[in-house]
Each structure stands twice: as C-alpha cells, then as structure tokens.
Amino acid sequence: MTDTRQTPARRLVAPGRPVPVSTYRVQLGADLTFDDVAERVPYLASLGVSHVYLSPVLTAAPGSTHGYDVVAHDEVSPVLGGIDGLRRLADTAHAAGLGLVLDIVPNHMAVPTPVWHNAALWSVLEDGARSPYAAWFDVDWSAGDGAVLMPVLGDRIGAVLARGELELTTADVPGRGPSTVLRYHDHVFPVRAGTEQLPLTELLERQHYRLAYWRVADEELNYRRFFDVGTLVAVRVEDPDVFYATHRLVLDLLEEGVLDGLRVDHPDGLADPAGYLARLREASGGAWVVVEKILEGDEELPADWDTAGTTGYDALWRIQQTFVDPGGAAPLGALMHRLTGEASDDYERVVEQAKREVVDGPLYAEVYRLTTLAASICADDLRLRDHTWRALHECLVELLVAFDRYRAYVVPGEVVPSDSVTALERAATVARGRMSTERHATMDVLVDLLLGREVGSAGRTRGERRDELVVRFQQTCGAVTAKGVEDTAYYRWTQLVGLCEVGGEPSRFALTPTDLAAWAARQQVAAPLAMTTLSTHDTKRSEDTRARLGVLSELPAEWSRLVLAVRGATASARSARVDGRAEQWVWQTLAGTWTPDGPIARERLVEYLTKSLREAKTHTWWTAPDEAYEAAIVDLATRALGDPEVVALLTDWEQRSRAAVRAAVLGTKLVQLTLPGVPDVYQGTEVDSPTLVDPDNRRFVELEPLVERLERLDSGAGPRDLSDEKLLVTSRALRVRRDLPEAFVGPEAGYVPLAHSSGHTVTYARTVADEPRVTVVATRLAASVDRLGGWADHTVAVPPGTWRDVLTGRTTEGGVTPVAGVLERLPVALLVRED
C-alpha cells in the first residue's frame, strides 16, 4: 500500500510532463547513428518500451566511442547525424508511440587532440584569465604562475626541446583560419598574441599554459578534472552563465518536445549538486530527471535534490544480492583465503589500502591543493597558525581514506544536513584512530572548517578560501572513492567477484527477500519514478554474467572442488608470476561467461583480463605495464581454454549449474522490470548476454536476430533457449507496464509484498488504489530448491481474483496457492488480474 501524498514533490515531474514507463538504452556512435536507431524503433515498440534512452549526443572529441568527452555544447554530433538526424529520430519514435530520454554530461568537457576541437578551452589557453570562457573551467590561476598545466609531453620538457620535438608552425584552426600554433606531434596549441617572434624557450615561458611531462599531472595539475582523467576538464556549471551556455541546446530540445527527460552524469563532481538540480528543474519546466548518484550502503538520496531519483545502481545491487545464497559466504571465503591469503573480513582493509594508494598517487595534486588551501587559511589566522601544512595534509589524507561515501553535501552559508554532519564526523573518528594524538587537535579544526563552523578568530565561518575548501573537499571525496573503491579495490576482492559492481556492497554478501521488500516499499514512497537497472555501459559485468557468478554461492562446495581440479590440470601452465587474486579472477570470469555454446572468445577474454589486471594496480599499471606478469596470467587463461580436461570440467559445471543460472537470469530480470521505479533495459540484455566491462559491454548489437526471436515468440512458438526465455520475460513485462502504467508509475501505483511459505520465492503485487493488478513470483536460489527435492507443499498467497500468467497463458485463482503450480513451466510467473 502506498500514499503518493507522502512522495516529495521534487521527486515527481511537473503536471503535463511525460514520465517514462520504461526505457531502452542505446550506445550511439559511428556504427549506431540516429538513423540507425530510427530503424530499430519498430522493434523497440514491439518489445514494449516507452522511451529510447540515448547516450550523450553533443559533439564529442574526435574518435570518441562513448560521447562523454563533449567538446561543443551548442552542436549535436555530426557523426551521429546532427540536429536534423535527432529530429528525424524523434519524429519516428513519436509516430510509434515512443519518446526520447537523453544522457547529459554537466561535470566535464574533453581536452581533445588537437585542443582546437574544444573552442572554449582553446580560447582559455590562448588568452588565459582574460578569455570570455575563463569562468567555464575550474582552473587555479594562482598556481603554476597563472598558466594552465598541459601534461602532454612524453618526456621532460628539457629533453623534448633538445630533440627539437616542439615546433612553431601555421595551421588552419577551425573558426579562426590560418594561425600561428605550437605543435608537439599530434598536439597543437595556440600562441599568445605578441609572442610569435620570441625564441622558443622564451615563447614557452610567456604562454597561458605550461607544457609538461605527462607524469607531472598527478603532482602539479592546476585544473580540476574528472577523477584522475587529465583529458577531461571540469566545467563550472555552478555559474549561472556557464549553466545556460552549456545547457541551452538541450533545454530547447526539451521545450520543443524532441526530448522527454534527462539522465545526469556524475552530479557528485559538481560544486553544488542540489543547486544545479534546482536550476535544471526550473529551466526544464519540471521534466523527468534522474541522476547517476552512487548511494553507499543504506545512504539515501539527499532530500533537497530536485530529481526523480537515481539511475538505479541502488536497485541493482539489492536485486543481485537477493539472488545470492548467504550460505556460500564461508566456503567461498575459505577458497579465497587458500588462493590469496585474504580472509572474508579483509574487505575493508583492501579498500583502505586502495584508497591510500590513490590519494598518494593519481590524486595527489588534488590533495596537495586542498592542503595548501587549508594551510593558507590557518596561516592567516593567529589562532590557527600553529596547525602546520604537514599536519593538515596528514589529516586530510586520513579523512579522505576513512570517508565511507562519495561525498557529504555542505553548501557554504547553508545549514548542513544532519546526514552530512554524521558522515564527516564518523570519518573523522575513524581517522583519529589511525593518527597520533598530537594530530587530533588539527583534525578538530579541519572538520570544523569542512562543516563551515565557527573556528579561529572573531567567530569566522565564511570567506572565499573557506568556502572553496568546503566545496573542493567534497569533490575530491568522490574522486577518491571512485578511483580507490570501484576502480581498484573492486578488481582486488575475489570472494565472489560479481558482488564488486558499481554502487555495490561486497561487504554484504547476500540479502533476504524481506530486505528487498523493505527497500522497495520505501522506494515506492520516496522515489517511485527513479530508474532501476541491472546493466549499464559502466557496469563491471552484465546482469547475466553476475547471475552466473551468483550461482557459485549456491554450489560453493562443488565450485571449490572444480577450482582445485582446474588448478591441478593447469599446474604446468601456471607461472610463478601468477598470484592468487589473478587466478581467482580467471576462473570466476570463465564461469561467469561460459554458456552452452562454450567459453568467451579468446580476444575478448584477453582484453578483459589485461584491463582488470591494470585496474587492480597490484603488479601492473596502465602507466607502467608489467608485460611479463600480464603475459603469465593471459597464458594461464588461454592455455586453460585449450586444455581438454579444463574445458570438460567447465562444460560439466555449466551443465550442472544451468537450471540455477536460468532461474537467476529470469528472476533478477523480472524483479527489476516490476519493482517500484522506471526500469531500463540496456541494449542487448533482453536476451542472455554474459558480457564484461567496457568496451566489451559496448559492442554493437545486431538487430535482426532480436527481431526474429521476438517475432517467433509472438507467433506462439515456445522458447528454444535461455535467450528466448529472457526475451519472453522482458517483452511481456514491458508490455504489461505499457498496458497498465497506472500500476507502475501512476499516482495511485503501489507495491505490496505477498505472504509465502518459502524463503526461495520473491513475490509481491503491484496495485492501483490498493487493488492488486499484477502479481510477481520468482524463484530464488534454485539450486537449493533442487537439493530440497522441489517445492513440495510450499505456497504463495495470490490476491483474490482470476489471474493469467502472461508468460505461459496459465490461469490461477487467487488464494493460498502451491508454488509448484504457479511455476510449473518457468521459474518465474507474471500474473495479471483478468476480472
């Protein structure tokens, strides 16, 4: 039961604005343009989605494969088809009853090669702080002698000069014509007016930028970037002029009706996410907007954010871990300990170590800037002067490492939310425990500064530098968490690698159906129009790969025996360089991607393993690859795939686990499509699609096989394989949502858990004005059901009425009903009330 009057107004759209009932994400690019997507519209309409969800469409850096490296906010990418192509797609979609949702990137722009592709940045490099675009970028003009650091050189500048690799030349700069430029291989930079005739070394000294060795970036970079990516420069959308300049085209497309809603990329990188979202809501007329916000654990979306909710990572990990067997934690932990030496309770230690490495390495420049800012505040205040740079640096490092979420939300001059105070003070308590008592007083001062409290002389709470410290600390927190946890620790923790997912909670091995129901009931009231997802362009593994990995928890003893047998079979191929973590990674990756057709393609596996090893940053790095180590791991994996004994063992495993995988794949999908929220189907995941991290999960998806499968199912043919069954579940659930939107996104939609006698079912009803209209029953942990001999006399309480399973056509009468009957043909059921 729900009362929509309890839903905050900022979580709902303005009257008259469209609300997606479901979305289908497409990854645009040279191989999938607007016209290509238009050709897919009939299929998407038949599938049952209400909106096509587009990856970023603004002009991106040359060769971009994703669109998040925007270079022009006032132009729709010509590569994708330009503004005319987007309008043609909108017309085609609207004619089929579909709308469009767009992914936008407010936090950063690209530093392209050559830089002239980003006209705004080119202007800043040419004219410095006097450029009309200087306010766009978050540059510390007080650092680097007022020059923007451009760390593009392959060697120290002295060596580059000695080799004559820098040259003054003429180039035809877009929008400017023939211009004198400075060229370094493919990199081209503007030359400050009046310096063209100077000797090269003097000319370099006089520019508004400083060319530097690429390794200098981590220590001296003076512009804020996206995490540690120097080729993505942060944009100051907190400035109203910058906001409107960078959003005008998108806002016009919303007003025109070309677009119906927005997905906002990485709002935690912004100076003031709440302020940004308030301005966006006003400027968009209250359109449906969701945000890529990672909520850690039980963290809730900030109450003052004007958004329908998140993009669904909070739903993803909860659904996934509901289909993980808690009984597998200890056996899989024991196997991990045997191979790696790590214990099941070592996860927090692994995270701490990874965050320390990130703070001391790729994000050192950000921490240095924070420290220098805090030290200058203290140096100018007599009462704070004895808190030294080093003490402040140590406190900042420990605080960043201890912080357990992406950021707190402190706006200078505004009352600090209690959750933010609690989060910061809790982190400070942890940090103090890792420091000498001599530093505790400095930590107290730092926490007061970061919370905007009165500290120092004359009751000071505000000031330009104090406000800047508050904002920059929060922006740095997000970068440390993203790079330290998701992009490092998640590649090191191997108890069950599928738990290491964007926004995930690997420390909470499994959840119960009751846990999921409690979250869903809260979500129905707090954010009923938020997005839900299982796979995205950013997930470490697709939903189907994670479903296969989850089954390891259901059969942990069998899996452990398999690993030992595979290790024995590959002993001669296992170099001394192969460490336990990497070996765990190999075997679980093979299990997660092994299908009835066999293993993943060799080239996909090699590319994935290489990326994973470098992301783990234990023995090899992107910036310093250990080719011998990488070759040892890749050789183990590829030789295993060529070993008949290993292939036989893994083929037997796939057959042994097939029924459990089937139930997990179909169960997680049906639950995601019917829980409170707006579900997204990532391209290609309407069928069984065990893919890995990008670029593997961004591969082109062929349309014809999907169309043929769906037409065959719609003609009445029975499913032939798991992909058919998943397409059946997906299409029927999406069509039910389309036909009964009032039960899912309407103002009187509700969610009610249903009574059941077995912990191996997930079951609930979707209601309209408290009347059940749709009932969901899904099998949880099918391997355990099989061990127990089936469903026996277990039951589920189906609400009163006559119900038809849209997946099988079977009719069920309401009441206490045997589970075995409801799930006679499939491990899931989607019941729609007929009377």
Does 229 share its domain with 128? yes
Does 354 share its domain with 396? yes
Strands 99-104 and 108-110: unpaired
Does 160 share its domain with 193? yes
Helix (H, G, I), strand (E, B) or coil at 376: helix
- The residue out of 234, 256, 271 marking a domain boundary is 234
- Using CB atoms within 10 A of its CB, is residue 565 exposed (0-12), middle (13-18) or buried (19+)? middle
The confidence score (pLDDT) of residue 705 equals: 98
Sheet holding 309-310, edge to edge: 309-310, 288-291, 261-264, 99-104, 51-54, 23-26, 678-682, 531-532
Q: From 539, 556, 448, 470, select the one nearest 498 (Cα to Cα).
A: 539
Average pLDDT score over the chain: 96
Does 219 share its domain with 129? yes
Query: What is the chain's percent helix, strand, coil content, to nearest 5?
Result: 50, 15, 35
Residue 754 falls within a domain, yes or no? no
DSSP 482: I
- What pLDDT band is residue 144 in, cutting at 50, 70 and 90? low
Does 86 share its domain with 139? no
- What pLDDT band is residue 166 in, cutting at 50, 70 and 90? very high
In the predicted model, is pLDDT for residue 749 greater than 70?
A: yes
Q: 342-377 pLDDT, tens per residue?
A: 999 999 999 999 999 999 999 999 999 999 999 999
**Residue 425: domain span:** 350-486
- The residue out of 486, 504, 528 marking a domain boundary is 486
Does 220 share its domain with 266? no
Q: What are phi and psi of 489, to 5 degrees?
A: -60, -35
Q: Whole-prediction pTM value? A: 0.96
Tell me which of 210-219, 251-260, 311-320, 583-592 is least confident: 210-219
3-state secondary structure 292-345: CCCCCCCCCCCCCCCCCEECCHHHHHHHHHHCCCHHHHHHHHHHHHHHHCCCCC
Does 82 share its domain with 136? no
Stated length of the chain: 835
Return the CATH number at 163: 3.30.1590.10
Residue 147 falls within a domain, yes or no? yes
Q: From 100, 80, 92, select the one nearest 28 (Cα to Cα).
A: 80
Residue 395 falls within a domain, yes or no? yes
Residue 661 falls within a domain, yes or no? no
The confidence score (pLDDT) of residue 141 equals: 83
Residue 517 falls within a domain, yes or no? no
Pair of tokens at residue 174: 């877009």
- What pLDDT band is residue 146 in, cutting at 50, 70 and 90? confident
Does 95 share its domain with 242? yes
Q: How many CA atoms lie within 13 A of 46 on its CB side?
A: 18
The confidence score (pLDDT) of residue 3 equals: 47
Bridge partners of 797, per DSSP, are 816
Distance (Å, whole) CA 780 – CA 761 = 5
Does 211 share its domain with 251? no
The confidence score (pLDDT) of residue 669 equals: 98
Percent of the chain with pLDDT over 90: 95
Q: 66-118 pLDDT, tens per residue?
A: 999 999 999 999 999 999 999 999 999 999 999 999 999 999 999 999 999 99
Q: How many CB atoms lie within 10 A of CB 92?
A: 19
- What pLDDT band is residue 5 in, cutting at 50, 70 and 90? low
In the predicted model, is pLDDT for residue 1 greater than 60?
A: no
- The residue out of 458, 486, 514 marking a domain boundary is 486
Does 88 share its domain with 146? no
Residue 518 falls within a domain, yes or no? no
Q: 599-637 pLDDT, tens per residue?
A: 999 999 999 999 999 999 999 999 999 999 999 999 999
The confidence score (pLDDT) of residue 2 equals: 43
Return the CATH number at 86: 3.20.20.80
Helix (H, G, I), strand (E, B) or coil at 813: strand
- What pLDDT band is residue 460 in, cutting at 50, 70 and 90? confident
Does 355 share its domain with 475? yes
470-480: average pLDDT: 96
The confidence score (pLDDT) of residue 762 equals: 98
Q: From 541, 113, 517, 553, select the one nearest 333 (Cα to Cα).
A: 553
Does 81 share its domain with 122? no
Count of the separate structural domains present in the chain: 3
